Amino acid sequence: MPEAENLSTRGAVRDDKAEVLEICERVYGERDYLPEVWDNWVSNEPSSGEFRIGMLDGRIVGFYHLTYRGNQSWMESLRVDVDRRRMGIGRRLTHDALDRVTAKGSRVIRLVTSQRNLGSRGLFREQAFEEVTYPHYMKFDGVMHPSSDNSLVRNPERDEIVKFLHSSGSLGGPHFLSPLWWRWWEFDEMMLDELLENGSALGLGDGGNLDALLLLNTTSRFGYKNSVQITFLGGTIQTMYTLTKHIPRYLDKTSGDEGITGYFSIPARGSEAEMALSQASFEDGTNLVVVQKILT
């Protein structure tokens, strides 16, 4: 559309905060997570990624954020101001993102959106992204009370974890995507080590043999609250449910001194992990879709 042809893009600076947050307010009201992560995203740390701003007639009209993990890239927080929709701005910002990640050597770009967000799904379908997985956000806001002791529940050794992940197909198989906070990456040993370094693993099984495994991580290192993220990496509904009930006992290393604000997990829709979480009284949240585009 003609108006978007004049769109220019640039990196965000701290002074953009007020204008960016006004747009967030108009788009999502109070429900937006972006105000909370803003400082982290404009901190110029290598891990803070790139926050890109779209300008039209001297005003900010849209923006998005990129992060990288090796040669994979992640796009998030694409927003176009409410009175500037359907002018091609979202498409232009997406092209800007594709140009940037391609120039950086990414072989794939991904993002997540709500299944109900038909505008976003339409935009990315049009740009030849494919829908690759359908996760389900689930949360538990109350206080978790631990079950009584179970000698099979423990913090497993790394070797044991790797062996289990190979046998459950979570490691080594192609394109197994797992969320780290709200970003889905191909799961590999590097990601496992990062999760173990910043959180902990909880396994069920006797000496040397695991029947179920979950990883615990807190979101504060992404600049966002102190929620505990639970990632299941194998097990049956019953064994995963048993593990969930023992989480509070094993949180010391993960939670640090700050109080925990809640628990969440984003299992694949229809998975055994989803059923185990339902049994453990986790509330149903948004049904999501992860889309990706392979870049050549």
Ligand X SMILES: CC(C)(COP(=O)(O)OP(=O)(O)OC[C@H]1O[C@@H](n2cnc3c(N)ncnc32)[C@H](O)[C@@H]1OP(=O)(O)O)[C@@H](O)C(=O)NCCC(=O)NCCS
Contacting positions for ligand X (CB under 6 A): 27, 78-80, 85-91, 111, 113, 117-120, 122-123, 126
Toward ligand X, which CB reaches closer, 122 or 256? 122
CB of 98 to ligand X, least distance (A): 13
Beta-strand pair 262-265/136-140: antiparallel
Long-range contacts (CB closer than 8 Å, 24 or more residues apart) made by 217-223? 217/180, 217/181, 217/254, 218/254, 218/255, 218/256, 218/260, 219/181, 220/256, 220/258, 222/37, 222/40, 222/181, 223/36, 223/37, 223/39, 223/40, 223/41
Toward ligand X, which CB reaches closer, 89 or 280? 89
CB of 1 to ligand X, least distance (A): 7
CB of 4 to ligand X, least distance (A): 7
CB of 57 to ligand X, least distance (A): 15
CB of 64 to ligand X, least distance (A): 8
Q: Closest CB to ligand X belongs to which residue?
A: 90
Toward ligand X, which CB reaches closer, 90 or 234? 90
Toward ligand X, which CB reaches closer, 79 or 100? 79
How far apart CA 268 and CA 277 sit, in angstroms, is 12
Q: 213 and 202 in contact (C-beta within 8 Å)?
A: yes
At residue 296's C-alpha, the angle toward residues 75 and 2, to 5°, is 60
Toward ligand X, which CB reaches closer, 181 or 232? 181
CB of 26 to ligand X, least distance (A): 10
Report CA dihedral (225, 227, 232, 237) to the nearest 10 degrees. Answer: -150
How far apart CA 255 and CA 247 sit, in angstroms, is 11
How far apart CA 251 and CA 207 sit, in angstroms, is 22
CB of 128 to ligand X, least distance (A): 12
Toward ligand X, which CB reaches closer, 92 or 154? 92
How far apart CA 285 and CA 19 sit, in angstroms, is 30
How far apart CA 137 and CA 117 sit, in angstroms, is 15
Toward ligand X, which CB reaches closer, 123 or 240? 123
CB of 89 to ligand X, least distance (A): 4
Toward ligand X, which CB reaches closer, 127 or 279? 127
Name the residue among 194, 193, 176 with its Cα closest to residue 185: 176
Residue 286 has phi, psi (to 5 degrees) of: -65, 140
